[in-house]
Amino acid sequence: MDRNIRWLLIAPSVVLIVVLTIFPLGFAIWTSFVQFDFSIGNDHPWVGLDNFRTNWEDPVWRHSLWVTALLATTSVAVELAIGLLLALAMVRPFKGRRVLMVLFVIPLFMSPVIVGGFFDLFLRRPFGPANWLLSGLLGHDVAIDFTIDSPWTYISLILADAWQWTPFMFVILLAGLTAIPDTLYEAADLDGAKPRQSFFFVTLPLLTPIVMIAVTFRFIDAAKLFDIIYSLTRGGPGTATYTTSYYLYQQGFELFHLGQGTAGAFMFMIMLTVVAFWLVRRMLKPLEA
């Protein structure tokens, strides 16, 4: 009797896992090996690896991988630099510090679609104020279409992503800085170390593991950039700002090539897993030492 009760108690969880996890995963694997296209009706012939091959031979797919790597790497670098500067400026208490910290982290809680829409309104000609502000700062007329002109399209996406996710770096790095004991700085000061030497020989070595973890998590997330592109550039001009996530969205939900889109999603997942595994092993070495 007790054994039956145990099975009855765990049955809802097992059913939920099967329905929400195992079945969708199995269906997705099956979809990637068949021609699952709404334009051909309900017939889904087996095509084997053709969906994977079609993605790999598509120049837009290969271009999207380079765009993804460029945007993810640049965005994370910008966010790390600005986040570290903000954390260093905010590590010591001062009047108004709490108010500034609240203002700094507000973008972190906004939807990426809202962020993309905000920057679209700010940058798009002729109504966005970006060109007017730049004209006033530079002293001459500026007429840049940030959503069409290259390389400004990439700069716009990096700027929007950095505006939202720099607070993520800031919060993590600030926590790491506050965890460093003041006694270490006092000892360095007694040894005659200057502020710059204290930063490079005390702060940076102790902060490195935190930086590595933050960069790893943020890079994995930035590689999946979609929302801001969808609301800001729609992958344009042409396919210039297609990230892999946007390419897969177009294949699956605009062109309805679900087999090809699902196969591409598995390919991208494998690539991202390899990169993430390398980053984790590479970046957590100081913690293992």
Q: pTM for the complete prediction?
A: 0.87
**Cα 229–chain centre separation:** 12
In this model, does residue 143 exceed pLDDT 90? no
The predicted model gives 114-130 an average pLDDT of 86
The pLDDT confidence band at residue 37, using thresholds 50, 70 and 90, is confident
CA 54 to chain centre: 26
The number of C-alpha atoms within 13 Å of 175 and in the hemisphere containing its C-beta is 10
- Give the tens place of pLDDT for each residue, 240-256: 999 999 999 999 888 88
| Average pLDDT of the residues in 65-75 | 95
How is domain 52-288 classified at the architecture level of CATH? Orthogonal Bundle (1.10)
Check residues 135 and 53 and name the one with the higher pLDDT.
Answer: 53
Q: pLDDT per residue over 260-289, tens digit each?
A: 999 999 999 999 989 888 887 776 665 555
Residue 171 to residue 72: CA distance in whole angstroms: 20
Domain regions of the chain by residue span: 52-288
Distance of CA 219 to the CA centre of its chain: 6
* pLDDT reported for residue 140: 82
* Rounded to 5°, angle at Cα 82 from 121 and 140: 50
Query: What whole-number distance in Å separates Cα of residue 234 and Cα of residue 242?
Result: 8
pLDDT tens digits along 199-251: 888 888 889 888 888 998 899 999 999 999 998 888 888 889 999 999 999 99
Average pLDDT, the chain: 87
Residues 187 and 289: their CA atoms lie apart, in Å, by 24
Query: What are the structure tokens assigned to 57, written together?
Result: 């031979």
Contacts of 79 (CB under 8 A, 6+ apart): 161, 162, 165, 166, 168, 169, 218
| pLDDT of res. 2 | 64
The span from the CA of 264 to the CA of 247, in Å, is 9
Give yes or no for residue 15 having a pLDDT over 80. yes
Query: Distance (Å, rounded) from C-alpha 208 to C-alpha 206?
Result: 6
